[in-house]
Amino acid sequence: MTIIIGLLVTLGCMLGGFVAMGGHVSVIWQPWEYVIICGAALGTFIVANPLKTIKDTGKALMEGLRNDAPTPRHYLDVLAVLYSLMRELRGKSRNEVEKHIDEPDQSVIFQKFPSVLDNEDLTAFICDYCRLIIIGNVRTHEIESLMDEEIQTIRGDMMKSYHALVSISEGLPALGIVAAVLGVIKAMGALDQAPEVLGGLIGAALVGTFAGIFFSYAVVTPMATKSKIVREKKLRLYVIVKQTLLAFMNGAMPQVALEHGRKTISAYERPSIDEVEQETLGGGSQTDPAQKEAA
């Protein structure tokens, strides 16, 4: 929603200012200039990226438009799952714990928190490292190094769409110049026309330069940045898991280990200690803390 509002504000101020200066909006409407710029940008985007990245870029843009970032509810669910698993690891036999991590879809722990179970990659991340903890012969610093490597790999995959969009945004001004040059070439073919006609053709050509810069800095770059912010927040879930499990491996009690994970959440989104205790010790609540505040 914020992206749509921002674009409306940008367009409103730009067009309003142009009209206030005495300009005519009809001059800016040069659809074939836009076809040249956007078509060339799309074509270079397809050339430069594999099909998987192209599909993921569409997904990232939709995530940005929906602001599909983790909410306090997601953070609480992850912490609650980790707490339950740590309790199992601490007090149950290996066979009893393995049934939860080998088949998380059938686990009563994961089934209580569908927001975690629906995130297949995060669920696999949790289960993989709980499985390593069960083995019992691994050192904490080895697990930490392995987690860092995997999180870095996950981040690289998540940011491919962002880098692809940034590359296109950087190229759009140049593509706008290409469209402008083509317009000037067209205008040069009409030098025998009246000055009014020739002036209109030159003005239409210059719209290409304007459009390339506008699409770059006012549309593509902000949307790329928004998708990056959303995905970095999703990556934070992995950091929560990492810090919590490492603290547990170092001998911390489950409730104390949760604090290590909770502290990695941004202060303005971080659930309070009381909310975490209610979620873990008190049996949990399916109400989003943000919704409680609104109520």
Can you give the pLDDT of all 295 residues of the chain as single tens digits? 677 888 889 888 988 888 898 888 888 888 889 999 999 999 999 999 999 999 999 999 999 988 899 999 999 999 999 999 999 988 888 788 888 888 899 889 999 999 999 999 999 999 999 998 888 777 889 899 999 999 999 999 999 999 999 999 999 999 999 999 988 888 888 777 777 777 878 888 888 899 999 999 999 999 999 999 999 999 999 999 999 999 999 999 999 999 999 999 998 889 989 888 888 876 544 444 444 443 3
- Domain assignment present for residue 253? The answer is yes
- Domain assignment present for residue 21? The answer is no
Cα-only R_g, the chain: 26
Distance separating the N- and C-terminal Cα atoms of the chain: 22
Domain count, the chain: 1
Question: What is the residue range of 92's domain?
Answer: 30-284
- Domain assignment present for residue 117? The answer is yes
CB atoms under 10 Å from CB of 238, counted, come to 20
- Domain assignment present for residue 5? The answer is no
Run of H or E residues at 62: helix 51-66
Copy the structure tokens of residue 146. 């392995």
- Domain assignment present for residue 75? The answer is yes
Copy the structure tokens of residue 83. 């707490």
Q: Answer yes or no: are the C-beta atoms of 80 and 113 closer than 8 Å.
A: yes
pLDDT score for 290: 44
DSSP single-letter state for residue 264: T
- Domain assignment present for residue 22? The answer is no
Q: Answer yes or no: are the C-beta atoms of 99 and 91 closer than 8 Å.
A: no
Where does residue 225 rank: exposed (0-12), middle (13-18), buried (19+ CB within 10 A)? middle
- Domain assignment present for residue 12? The answer is no
- Domain assignment present for residue 207? The answer is yes
pLDDT score for 25: 83
